[in-house]
Chain A
Amino acid sequence: MTTDQLRPLSELQALESESIHIIREVAATFASPIMLFSGGKDSVVMLHLAAKAFWPAPIPFGLLHVDTGHNFPEVLQFRDEAVDFYGASIKVAAVQDYIDDGRLRERPDGTRNPLQTLPLLDAISEGRHDAVFGGGRRDEERARAKERVFSMRDGFGQWDPRNQRPELWSLYNGRHLPGEHVRVFPLSNWTELDVWDYIAAQKISVPTIYYAHEREVAFRDGMWIAITDVTPARTSEAVEVHSVRYRTVGDMSCTAAVLSAASTVHDVITEVGLSQLTERGATRADDRLSEAAMEDRKREGYF
Chain B
Amino acid sequence: MQQRSPVLSPATKLTGGRTLLRLATAGSVDDGKSTLVGRLLFDTNSVFADTLDHVEQVSKRKGLDRTDLALLTDGLRAEREQGITIDVAYRYFATPARKFILADCPGHVQYTRNTVTGSSTADVIVLLVDARNGVVEQTRRHLAVASLLRVPHVVLVVNKIDLVNYSEDAFTAIATDFALLARSLGVLETHCIPVSATEGDNVVTRSHRTPWYDGPTLLGHLENIDDTRLAVGADLRFPVQHVIRPQSAAHAPWAARAPEVDGDYRGYAGKIESGRVRPGDEVVVLPRGSHAVIEAIDTPDGPLDLAVAGQSVVMRLNTDIDVSRGDILAATDAPPAPTRDLPATVCWLAERELTVGARVLVQHGTSLTKALVKSIDGVLDLDFESGTVPCWRPTVSLALNDIGRIRLTLASPLPIDSYREHRATGAFILVDDADGWTLGAGLAGSTPLSAKTTDNMRPEPVERHASTSSARMTPSTDQHHTARQGKPS
Contact = CB atoms under 8 A, between A and B. Distances in A.
A229 interface: no
Interface string A67-78: 000000000001
Given A6-B308, A188-B90, A281-B50, A17 B271 contact: yes
B254 A51 contact: yes
Nearest to A25: B241
B2 A57 contact: no
B75 A143 contact: yes
B480 interface: no
Interface string B274-299: 00100000000000000000000011
Interface string A83-100: 001110000000000000
Given A29-B485, A81-B1, A54 B20 contact: no
Interface residues of A, number: 83
A56 B246 contact: yes
Contact of A82 (B1, B50, B310, B486): B1
B75 A142 contact: yes
Contacts of B76: 142-143, 146, 161-162, 292, 295
A112 B271 CA distance: 40
A81 to B, nearest CB: 5
A211 B431 CA distance: 47
Contacts of B437: 165
B4 interface: yes
B438 A173 contact: yes
Contact of B246 (A52, A57, A171, A202): A57
Interface stretch (A102-110, A248-256, A270-278): A270-278
B78 A162 contact: yes
A54 B90 contact: no
Given A11-B20, A201-B14, A281-B50, A58 B246 contact: yes
A177 B94 CA distance: 39
A166 B121 contact: no
B249 interface: yes
Contact of B75 (A55, A146, A204): A146
Given A16-B14, A57-B246, A58-B246, A205 B436 contact: no
B356 interface: no
Contacts of B364: 171
Contacts of A13: 14-15, 310-311
B254 to A, nearest CB: 6
A277 B252 contact: no
Contacts of B229: 8
A173 B366 CA distance: 11
Given A165-B437, A276-B48, 19 more contacts: A7-B228, A21-B270, A51-B255, A54-B244, A55-B255, A56-B249, A56-B300, A57-B250, A81-B1, A86-B254, A166-B113, A167-B438, A168-B429, A168-B438, A169-B121, A175-B431, A275-B48, A277-B48, A291-B77
22 contacts: A10-B17, A13-B15, A21-B271, A24-B269, A24-B270, A55-B252, A56-B246, A56-B252, A59-B250, A78-B1, A85-B4, A139-B92, A145-B91, A173-B429, A191-B94, A203-B5, A205-B2, A211-B2, A276-B49, A277-B48, A281-B50, A292-B77
Interface of B: 1-8, 10, 13-20, 48-51, 54, 74-78, 80, 86-92, 94, 98-99, 101, 113, 116-117, 120-121, 227-229, 232, 241-242, 244-246, 249-255, 259-261, 265, 267, 269-271, 276, 298-300, 306, 308, 310-312, 314, 325, 349, 361, 363-364, 366, 423-424, 427-429, 431, 435-438, 441, 485-486
Interface of A: 1, 5-18, 20-21, 24-25, 27-29, 48, 51-59, 78, 81-82, 85-87, 138-139, 142-143, 145-146, 161-162, 164-171, 173-177, 188-189, 191, 193-194, 197, 201-206, 208, 211, 265, 275-278, 281-282, 291-292, 295
- 5 residue pairs, one from A and one from B, having the closest CB atoms: A175-B436, A56-B259, A87-B251, A281-B50, A57-B246
